[in-house]
Amino acid sequence: MTEPIIAFREASKVFTARSGDVRAVDGVSFDISPGEIFGVIGYSGAGKSTLVRLINALEPATSGSVVVDGLDLTTLPESRLRQVRAGIGMIFQQFNLLGSRSVAKNVSYPLEVAGWPKAERAARVAELLDFVGIADKAGVYPAKLSGGQKQRVGIARALATNPRILLADECTSALDPETTADVLALLRRVNTELGITVVVITHEMDVVRSLCDRVAVMEHGRVVELDDTYRVFSTPQHPVSRRFVASALKDRPTADVLERLRGRHPGRLVTVGVDDAGHSTATMNEVLREAGVDSTVVFGGITEVAQRPYGSLTLELTGQPASIQQGVTALRAFSDVVDLGTASDPHEDPSMATPRGSSDGGTPDGPPAMPPPRTRRPGSGLFGGGSSHLPIGDGRTS
Ligand SMILES: Nc1ncnc2c1ncn2[C@@H]1O[C@H](COP(=O)(O)OP(=O)(O)OP(=O)(O)O)[C@@H](O)[C@H]1O
Ligand SMILES: [Mg+2]
Question: What one-character-per-residue DSSP string does 267-334 give?
Answer: SEEEEEEE-SSS--HHHHHHHHHHTT-EEEEEEEEEEEETTEEEEEEEEEEES-HHHHHHHHHHHHTT
Q: Which residue has the higher pLDDT, 86 or 15?
A: 15
pLDDT of residue 380: 36
pLDDT of residue 350: 66
pLDDT of residue 21: 93
Same domain, 267 and 206: no
Same domain, 212 and 304: no
Nearest residue (by CA) to ligand 1, atom 27, is 44
Q: Using a cut of 0.85, tell me whether the model's pTM lies above it.
A: no
Q: How far apart are CA 198 and CA 157, in angstroms?
A: 15
pLDDT of residue 384: 33
Q: Ligand 1 centroid to 37 CA: how many Å? A: 23
- The answer, yes or no, to whether any atom of ligand 1 lies below 6 A from the CB of 236, is no
At which of 188, 219, 248 does a domain end? 248
Nearest residue (by CA) to ligand 1, atom 10, is 24
Same domain, 102 and 132: yes
Determine the structural domain holding residue 153 and report its residue range.
6-248
Indicate whether 38 pLDDT > 60: yes
Nearest residue (by CA) to ligand 1, atom 11, is 24
Same domain, 109 and 227: yes
- With cut-offs at 50, 70 and 90, classify the pLDDT of residue 351: low
Shortest-distance ligand to the CA of residue 51:
1
- With cut-offs at 50, 70 and 90, classify the pLDDT of residue 280: low
Same domain, 156 and 244: yes
| CATH code where residue 154 lies | 3.40.50.300
- The answer, yes or no, to whether any atom of ligand 1 lies below 6 A from the CB of 14, is no
CA distances from 2 to 70, 197, 249, 288 (A): 11, 14, 34, 47
Q: How far apart are CA 255 and CA 257, in angstroms?
A: 6
Mean pLDDT (the chain) is 87
Shortest-distance ligand to the CA of residue 46:
1
Same domain, 273 and 137: no
Q: Which residue has the higher pLDDT, 365 or 298?
A: 298
Q: Which of 46, 54, 14 is nearest to 30 (CA)?
A: 54
Q: Which residue has the higher pLDDT, 47 or 335?
A: 47
Same domain, 294 and 189: no
- The answer, yes or no, to whether any atom of ligand 1 lies below 6 A from the CB of 49, is yes
Same domain, 127 and 195: yes
Q: Ligand 2 centroid to 344 CA: how many Å? A: 50
pLDDT of residue 369: 39
How buried is residue 224: exposed, middle or buried, by Cβ count under 10 Å (0-12/13-18/19+)? middle
Instruction: Answer yes or no: is 1 within a domain.
Output: no
Q: Ligand 1 centroid to 96 CA: how many Å? A: 19
Same domain, 334 and 227: no
Nearest residue (by CA) to ligand 1, atom 31, is 45
Same domain, 261 and 203: no
Q: Ligand 2 centroid to 367 CA: how many Å? A: 21
At which of 189, 222, 248 does a domain end? 248
Same domain, 214 and 262: no
Shortest-distance ligand to the CA of residue 43:
1
At which of 248, 275, 306 does a domain end? 248
Indicate whether 4 pLDDT > 50: yes
CA distances from 345 to 33, 296, 331 (A): 52, 19, 20
Tally of domains within the chain? 2
pLDDT of residue 241: 95
Same domain, 202 and 297: no
pLDDT of residue 1: 66
